Amino acid sequence: MGKVLLAAPRGFCAGVERAIRTVEHVLERHGPPVYVRRQIVHNTRVVRDLAARGAVFVEELDEVPEGSVVVLSAHGVAPEVHTQAAARELSVVDAVCPLVTKVHREAERFAAAGYEIALVGHAGHEEVTGTVGHAPGRIRVVASPEEARALPVADPSRVVWLSQTTLAVDEVAVTVDALRDRLPLLADPPGDDICYASQNRQDAVRAIASRCDLLLVVGSANSSNSARLAEVALRAGARDARLVDDAARVREEWFEGVATVGVSSGASVPEPLVASLVAALAERGYAEVEEVPVTEETLRFALPRPLAAISSPAPEAFPSAAAPAAADGPPATGPPSADG
């Protein structure tokens, strides 16, 4: 008989929950179709379920009929996306995570103060693309210590580093150390950019990794924070670690010689997917389940402010996209996170 170690916390973070509730709320008030630019969060199951309820996911705004309602994803966008929305007379609800908005504001402030910005992150990721758009010409994306050591700068005394929110903490630290070796006067951000949920899920995986012969992370392949959890597990001592969309993706050959299986999930993963995996593991003989909590999360974010003003399902009740509305309402419950 085998054993399952269930990491906690896992699954939805406050930003993901807020983004999904935003689409649900707009669907309820407006009725389908409601257009969503890009995946609202990086999870196949969530996107499929929302599409079944009337959400229409598009890559770019030119796919959205003029005058329609459009929701922007949790990963954040560049200001030019709001400009495009205004030109098409779209009614925008911005579901950007408030912790991503925090990084946008930092980039704007440092750029205005004349700093060059080294953004630790993965080029092409939606969050990184959005952040770069808030300080065009001032940000260079740095993905590794090697890139950090080769970073060209105009004034070594006026450089600051920021980070994509979903990276592994130790991954960022190694790259920042390389930046600081090259730039001793490198400035730090005013607070941690790694989101509290990414940090907590990484800590939870570290707490069980050394006890696991196999650690399964439930999450989609395009989910940065989910992929980082599998990497953290290997660095923290798991014999093997795999990223799986759901229980159906688990393969028999992974279990040879495995007595203990760890389970976690990324911040955009619904808990029923984890429950389904645990049930599938029980059928394989891993019936004993021990949950290993490292902290309790109570933070929740209020819905985007435009939704609070809606009093009818008519599309004209949504604000115009001519000027981006503040998308980061105050926390609804719980203390501010360390990133706030």
First to last CA, the chain: 45
Strands, E assignment, the chain: 3-8, 34-37, 55-58, 69-72, 91-94, 116-120, 139-142, 159-163, 214-218, 241-244, 260-265, 288-293, 300-301, 331-333
CA pair distance 15, 197, nearest whole angstrom = 9
Neighbour order of strands in the sheet with 91-94: 55-58, 34-37, 69-72, 91-94
CA gap 84, 88 in Å, rounded: 6
Radius of gyration of the chain (CA): 21
Q: How far apart are CA 116 and CA 319, in angstroms?
A: 35
Instruction: Quote the tokens at residue 283.
Output: 């059928």
**In whole angstroms, what is the distance from residue 105 CA to residue 328 CA?**
12
Tell whether the torsion through CA atoms of 221, 226, 227 and 230 is positive or negative.
negative
Q: Do residues 273 and 218 lie in contact, with contact meaning Cβ atoms separated by under 8 Å?
A: yes
CA distance 92 to 190: 30
- Which pLDDT score is estimated for 329? 39
214-231 pLDDT, tens digit per residue, is 999 999 999 999 999 999
Taking CA atoms, 188 is separated from 67, 136, 241, 268, in Å, by 42, 20, 33, 28
Q: Which two tokens stand for residue 57?
A: 């996911």
Residues of the chain with pLDDT below 70 are 308-340
Question: Residue 213, Cα to own-chain centre: how many angstroms?
Answer: 27
Taking only the tens place, the pLDDT of each residue in 273-327 is 999 999 999 999 999 999 999 999 999 999 998 785 443 333 333 333 333 333 3
Per-residue pLDDT at 308? 52
Task: State the Cα–Cα distance between residues 162 and 151, nearest whole angstrom.
Answer: 14
Give the CA count within 13 Å in the CB-facing half-sphere of 197. 27
**Beta-strand pair 116-120/91-94:** unpaired
Q: Residue 55 and residue 70: Cα distance in Å, rounded?
A: 10
Q: Catalytic residue at 63?
A: no
Alpha-carbon distance of 92 to 114, in angstroms, equals 31
What's the CA gap between 20 and 95, in Å, rounded? 8
Q: What are the Cα distances from residue 134, in Å, to 78, 137, 169, 304?
A: 6, 10, 24, 20
DSSP β-bridge partners for residue 117: 139, 160
Q: Reading across the β-sheet that carries 116-120, which strands appear in turn?
A: 139-142, 116-120, 159-163
**Tokens 């509290």 belong to residue:** 196
Catalytic residue among 17, 116, 127, 171: 127
d(CA 314, CA 290): 49
DSSP label of 155: -
